[in-house]
Amino acid sequence: MTSTTAHYTTCWERTGVSGSHPFSPSTSYSSVDISLPSKSMRNLTRKAKIHSALQSPAILTFPKQKNPSKRHSESRKQTTPDWNFFQKAAAKALDIVESALISRELQNRLPKTADPRVQISGNFAPVPEQPVRHNLPVKGTIPDCINGVYVRNGANPLFEPVAGHHLFDGDGMVHAISVENGSVSYSCRFTETQRLVQERELGRPVFPKAIGELHGHSGIARLMLFYARGLFGLVDHSHGTGVANAGLIYFNNRLLAMSEDDVPYQVQVLPSGDLETVGRYNFDEQLKSTMIAHPKIDPVSGELFALSYDVVQKPYLKSFKFSPDGEKSPDVEIPLDVPTMMHDFAITENYVVIPDQQVVFKLQEMLKGGSPVIYDKNKKSRFGILPKNAKDSENIIWLESPETFCFHLWNAWEEPETDEVVVIGSCMTPPDSIFNECSENLKSVLSEIRLNLKTGESRKRKIIPSSEQVNLEAGMVNRNKLGRKTQYAYLAIAEPWPKVSGFAKVALSTGEVQKHMYGDGRYGGEPLFLPRNVNSEKEDDGYILAFCHDEKTWKSELQIVNAMTLELVATVELPSRVPYGFHGTFISSKDLQNQV
């Protein structure tokens, strides 16, 4: 592999503004200078002009890494692999095969869902790590109840893509804003996954990208290359291949970064406000499989509920839980005919709500030249209602909900008077548009789904009137009310898709919408609701925390908004750009004192 190492560049090794580069469809649209080495890609770029809401005029300068701590710098040096003669010969041969494969791939147009010029342009582009910066400027007054650290996860590829790349394929990076008595600090660090550590040591990307690369015959070839490298001892996939870029949760005194392709990674918040990866966390060897990125903590029992799905072999789905002190229950195997994309689920006071929907994995589609993630029109969407304390799946109740695909579920609760479980989620159409290119515009409609456990019937309604319909994705309810009936949901206004122009506070019973908009040329991400007090009588008594980025000035900030009035109460000016990302959580100063 040493033969191609020099062609790969990490996200922080280049600075400056580039007027035109391979990710830019024209000189009027440009992102960061992360140029691809392939001549084929450069030729492809000149032929195809792609205009999308992901792209923004270039005003970006990558901030240089300043004075990284000794701990971080020593652990992140690139090393020369200690390979024997046969390994070096195998590496060279496999590199030649890979180069030919990439050259052939780039002779054809990449779909938008796998084109890095679309997926990671503008403020979706990666940033370098930032050591902690203290005493950040604050406009307004930070409420006294906000003491602790707000952490948010996101995809941030360490290396430039050489071919296909989807936004979800990037390496995990956690951004942390620490608040102590009104004083604010900021840092961002990669989560040191096994994947990232090995690729950094090799100086290049070698692990397959699940969405951007694993499609069609080239995807099969990439898998064969990867396992061949493993056979020769050039890479080690025995300790997971995940990116840990999606969810964050604080449980059992540990901050866990998650993606559904691996077990979680534990990340520690240091007293300085900096971040450090502790390592892969399998709950003291109790967790033997992957875990999805959206586990749920029951606010009453303190238990953590989670799912694990397998795309290759049965059982395709398992449900399990952890006690508040981290003891795992036995797996409950859920019978499914085909492996299903299951990014999220819900809990109620007594049940786990499992969505078995129409986006499925069919690896055989790769043999036909297609994507393994497909929308199966012949499958019927349904929800499984599983008792929380179930030892097996015998008592699971399945209820069909036609044409329902919710990438995220915001909450669920029981209404015993009508024998119904009520599920709140954003129904997405076309269902597979995140993964596969399509001409139809994506819609994400906030919906209420009622599942009658007695009759087996289901009903679905749009919560917001059609005349006021807006795409709502990424958000939450008051987590102290999770699994119980809630009045409000706080959700990102995902327009123009996939950017977020503001967030909405939605009254779930009436459909009334209050909006907080970031302003012209300003976009953000998931709004995080932070209760003012766990014992507050009013459900919306608290604050919304959200990152916001100005695409005109190329500055990023944290906004703190009163959740009851939606008035902006404070803004924190950040020292460097924060890319649009995924999900986050808040850890109080009290909880941080008990961090493991």
From residue 508, how far is each of 58, 468, 486, 531 by CA, in Å? 40, 14, 8, 18
* pLDDT at residue number 437: 66
The per-residue pLDDT for range 131-164, each reduced to its tens digit, is: 999 999 999 999 999 999 999 999 999 998 888 8
Rounded to an integer, the average pLDDT of 293-297 is 95
Q: At residue 74, does pLDDT exceed 70?
A: no
Total Cβ atoms within 10 A of residue 166: 25
Q: At residue 18, does pLDDT exceed 60?
A: no
Among 224, 90, 88, 215, CA closest to 163:
215
Q: Which residue has the tokens 């949901």?
A: 489
Structure tokens at 272: 């300085």
Side-chain half-sphere CA neighbours of 128 within 13 A = 22
The H or E element containing residue 277 is: strand 275-280
CB pairs under 8 A, 24+ apart, for 385-388? 385/351, 385/352, 385/353, 385/354, 385/421, 385/451, 385/453, 386/319, 386/332, 386/334, 386/351, 386/352, 386/353, 386/354, 387/350, 387/351, 387/352, 388/303, 388/305, 388/321, 388/347, 388/350, 388/351, 388/352
* pLDDT at residue number 305: 97
* pLDDT at residue number 142: 95
* pLDDT at residue number 372: 81
What SS3 state is found at 75?
helix
Burial code (b: 16+ CB inside 10 Å, e: under 16) for 2-27 equals: eebeeebbbbbebeeebebbbbbbee
Rounded to an integer, the average pLDDT of 222-247 is 90
Identify how many contiguous H helices and E strands the chain contains and give both numbers.
7, 33
Q: At residue 236, does pLDDT exceed 70?
A: yes
> Binning pLDDT at 50, 70 and 90, where does residue 15 land?
very low
Q: At residue 121, does pLDDT exceed 70?
A: yes
pTM of the complete model: 0.86
* pLDDT at residue number 587: 97
Given a contact cutoff of 8 angstroms between Cβ atoms, the answer to whether 145 and 532 are in contact is yes
From residue 285, how far is each of 256, 263, 280, 505 by CA, in Å? 15, 11, 10, 41
Question: What CA–CA distance (Å, rounded) separates 580 from 124?
Answer: 6
* pLDDT at residue number 31: 34
What type of residue sits at position 164? G
Among the ranges given (181-185, 418-422, 429-433), the one the predictor scored with the smallest mean pLDDT: 429-433
Question: What CA–CA distance (Å, rounded) separates 202 from 464?
Answer: 51
Given a contact cutoff of 8 angstroms between Cβ atoms, the answer to whether 259 and 273 are in contact is no
Q: At residue 36, does pLDDT exceed 60?
A: no
The per-residue pLDDT for range 302-328, each reduced to its tens digit, is: 999 999 988 888 899 999 999 999 999
Instruction: List CB contacts of 73: < 8 A, sequence separation 6 or more.
Output: none
Q: How many residues would you count in the chain?
A: 596
Question: What CA–CA distance (Å, rounded) separates 358 from 374?
Answer: 8
Q: At residue 486, does pLDDT exceed 60?
A: yes
Question: What CA–CA distance (Å, rounded) separates 343 from 307?
Answer: 9
Cis peptide before 315 (omega within 30 of 0): yes
Q: At residue 283, does pLDDT exceed 80?
A: yes
Structure tokens at 305: 């509920």
* pLDDT at residue number 24: 33
The per-residue pLDDT for range 75-109, each reduced to its tens digit, is: 455 566 788 888 888 888 998 888 888 888 777 77
Rounded to an integer, the average pLDDT of 256-273 is 94
* pLDDT at residue number 177: 97
Rounded to an integer, the average pLDDT of 366-384 is 84
* pLDDT at residue number 438: 66
Q: At residue 117, does pLDDT exceed 70?
A: yes
Rounded to an integer, the average pLDDT of 449-458 is 94
Q: CA 437: distance to chain centroid?
A: 19
Beta bridge partners of 60: none
Given a contact cutoff of 8 angstroms between Cβ atoms, the answer to whether 435 and 444 are in contact is no
Q: At residue 252, does pLDDT exceed 90?
A: yes
Beta bridge partners of 267: 255, 277
Question: What CA–CA distance (Å, rounded) separates 299 from 459?
Answer: 28
Return the higher-pLDDT residue of 520 and 111. 520
Sign (positive or negative) of CA dihedral 195, 200, 202, 207? positive
554 phi and psi, to 5 degrees? 60, 35
For the CA atoms of the chain, what is the radius of gyration? Answer: 23
Return the higher-pLDDT residue of 52 and 238. 238
* pLDDT at residue number 10: 53
Among the ranges given (54-68, 270-284, 399-413), the one the predictor scored with the smallest mean pLDDT: 54-68
Work out the mean pLDDT of the chain and round it to a whole number: 84
Instruction: List CB contacts of 235: < 8 A, sequence separation 6 or more.
Output: 198, 202, 206, 207, 226, 229
Question: What CA–CA distance (Å, rounded) separates 174 from 264?
Answer: 14
Q: At residue 72, does pLDDT exceed 80?
A: no
Q: At residue 534, does pLDDT exceed 90?
A: no
The per-residue pLDDT for range 327-362, each reduced to its tens digit, is: 999 999 999 988 888 889 999 999 999 999 888 888
Paired sense of beta strands 317-322 and 332-334, if any: antiparallel
Question: What CA–CA distance (Å, rounded) separates 90 from 222?
Answer: 16
Considering the chain, what percentage of its residues have pLDDT values greater than 90? 56
* pLDDT at residue number 98: 86
Instruction: List CB contacts of 489: < 8 A, sequence separation 6 or more.
Output: 410, 411, 424, 446, 475, 476, 477, 505, 506, 508
Q: Decide: residue 292, CB within 10 A, 0-12 exposed, 13-18 middle, 19+ buried.
A: buried
